[in-house]
Amino acid sequence: MIDLLWDNLDYAASMVLFCIGLYAVITRNNLIKKFMGLNIMETAIFAFIVALGVVDGGNAPIMGEGAAKPFINPLPQALILTGIVVAVSTTALALSLVIRIWRQCGTIEADELREAE
């Protein structure tokens, strides 16, 4: 069991991160903190997918001098670049919403906002 965990430490770590993030999203009262939880979740998933492409002892798959097999699978990294773009857009949108909520309600605590409603 321990061996299995040790072999897949990268996956296990991303799962732990994911759970931390989800916990924050669910329990935090502050909208920014909620969103930070979401960012942690995003990071966890990204790390997980990038880790999929890792080959033990692999090199960066860059052609040219010094290129030698085995290469690391570049596809997950390319995907995650796109994923990061998506995550950044989401964050930008969320933060702009939070700013507007702050300006209009004077608070970004979820419970106070509910009362104000």
Partner 1 sequence: MTSWPPLLVLFVLTPLVGAVLTPAVSDASGRRSWEWALGTMLLTSAMAGALIMRVLDEGPFSYVVGGWVAPYGIELRFDEFSAFVAVVCLLGLLAVIFSRHYARDALAPGRIPYYYTLLLLNMTGMIGFIVTGDLFNLYVFMEILSLSAYALVAISGEKTAEMAAFKYLVMGAVSSLSILFGVGLLYALTGSLNMADVTGRLAGSAEAPLVLAFAALTLGFMVKSALFPLHIWLPDAHAIAPSPVSAVLSGLVVKVGILGMLRVYQIAYGSGAIDLSGLNLMLTWLGAISIVMGAFFAVFQDDIKMMLAYSTISNIGYIVMGLGLASPYSLIGASVHVFNHALIKATLFLGAGALIHQTGRRTLTGLAGVGRSMPLTTAAVSIGAISIVGIPPTAGFLCKWYIALGAMQAGEPLFAVALVFGALLIFVYYIRMVNAFYFRKPQEAGAPAVHEAPATMLVPVLILAALCLVMGVLGRLPLSFIEPAVTRLLAPLGGG
How far is residue 19 from each of residues 22, 38, 42, 50, measured CA to CA in Å? 5, 10, 11, 18
| Of residues 45-104, those binding partner 1 (CB under 8 A) | 45, 48-49, 52, 75-76, 79, 82-83, 86, 89-90, 93-94, 97-98, 100-101, 104
Among 13, 20, 72, 113, interactor with partner 1 by CB under 8 A: 113
Helices (H), 28-109: 31-52, 75-105
Cα–Cα distance, 91 to 86 (Å, whole number): 9
- Token pair recorded at residue 62: 């860059």
Enumerate binding residues for partner 1 (CB under 8 A).
18, 22, 25, 31, 34-35, 38, 41-42, 45, 48-49, 52, 75-76, 79, 82-83, 86, 89-90, 93-94, 97-98, 100-101, 104-105, 113, 117
